[in-house]
Amino acid sequence: MENETNVPRIIAMANMKGGVGKTTSTICTAIALNKLGRKVEVRDIDPQGSATLWAAKARAAGEPLPFDVRVANRFTV
């Protein structure tokens, strides 16, 4: 039997309205899960690329996020 903590999970943060905190909630949730020892990857499907921009700014500031942020919007397919 597989250990429940090894089962991959997908968490989606979605809302059609802008400015409701989707990116902030996603990054904060990913950081919290990472601190719990979970393997985390964020897929940025927002055409604005807000999570990707957040990761780039963190990297430029010398404090990269502890997980990958991958661009996965319709323009990269």
Question: For 32-77, how does the pLDDT look when each residue is reduced to its tens digit (9 = 90+)?
Answer: 999 999 999 999 998 889 999 999 999 999 999 999 999 987 666 5
- Residues near 56 by Cβ (< 8 Å), separated by ≥ 6? none
**Residue whose entry in the numeric block shows the structure tokens 């499907």:** 45
- Residues near 30 by Cβ (< 8 Å), separated by ≥ 6? 40, 42, 65, 67
pLDDT at 5: 63
- Tokens representing 9 are 């999970």
In the chain, alpha helices (H) = 22-35, 50-60
Q: Within a 10 A sphere around the Cβ of 43, how many other Cβ atoms?
A: 15
> Domain spans of the chain?
4-76
Query: Is residue 13 predicted with pLDDT exceeding 60?
Result: yes
